[in-house]
Each structure stands twice: as structure tokens, then as C-alpha cells.
Amino acid sequence: MFSGRFDHAIDNKGRVSIPSRFREALQKAEHNTLFITNFKVNGENCLQLFPYDKWMGMLGKIQQKPSLDPKMQLFQTFYIGGAHEIEVDKQGRILIPPKLREYAHLDKDVTFSAMTDHFQLWDKDTLKRVLGEAEKNFADPAFMQSLGI
């Protein structure tokens, strides 16, 4: 559903325009609501954004897990507890909740990055660091083989 990486800027009210390519995919599927939550990749903070149906699918999978498992409780406290439902306005913008902006260190320059059925929102410089680390891994044939690619 989603592909690509796009740089944008957050305004002083905490709003950011969703990339047009992502907006088109959301409009095709008639999604005007997203779920946004905190996430970590390679030890770095970012945000994940899901269309409504993908978020509900994930919640369904989580509900099938043992709710008394301490690891699942920790995951839900962090991931589900940090989630917010947000609307896409008529200009294709979303308002990033202040706590999530603070968590992901989103100040001005941000990058949207596709993850097939959802996307991430990063501080531009943080993502640049993560991509640099990822590139080093891709030079290792054993890494690619471990992915089954």
C-alpha cells in the first residue's frame, strides 16, 4: 500500500502534511483516520502510523496473545497505551500529539518512511543515522541471507 520516503516540515502547531503518495493510498481505501504510536528501531525513537483497518487487525492479533504474559503487558503499556487516533484534515495534514512529538524528537524537519501497510514518522537526522547503520548491514551477505532475501 505504501512505498517511498518523503521529507516534510512540522508547523508550530504540530501539524504536518502527509505525503501526497500516502494520502492517495489512504483516500483510495477511504481512510481519514490514522492511529499513531511510539516505536523504536535500532534503539532510536520514531512514530508509527496505521490506517484504521490495519490498526484493528493488529489489535486483533494482540488480543489473541496471553494477557498475563509480562512481556505482552509491557508491550501493550508502551505501544497500545501510547497510541492516539488522529484525523486527516481536508488539507491532508495530521496533528501530532505533543507527547509523541517529544518522544520522537520531532521539531521541524521530519521524514515519512513507508513500511508496506503502514508508515513511520522520523526526525530527519535520526532516520539518516538509522539508514547509515542499515546500509552497513546490507554490505554483509550473511545479513541478507538471514532475511531470506
Q: What is the pLDDT of residue 95?
A: 97
87-128 per-position pLDDT tens digit: 999 999 999 999 999 999 999 999 999 998 999 999 999 999
Please give the residue that has the higher pLDDT: either 7 or 149: 7
52-69 per-position pLDDT tens digit: 999 999 999 999 988 889
For range 15-19, the mean pLDDT: 97
**Residue 149 scores a pLDDT above 70:** no
Using CA atoms, how far residue 137 sits from 18, 106, 112, 124, 134, in Å, is: 30, 26, 22, 20, 5
Strands (DSSP E) found in the chain: 5-9, 15-17, 33-41, 44-51, 84-87, 93-95, 109-114, 119-123
Domains along the chain with CATH numbers = 5-124 (3.40.1550.20)
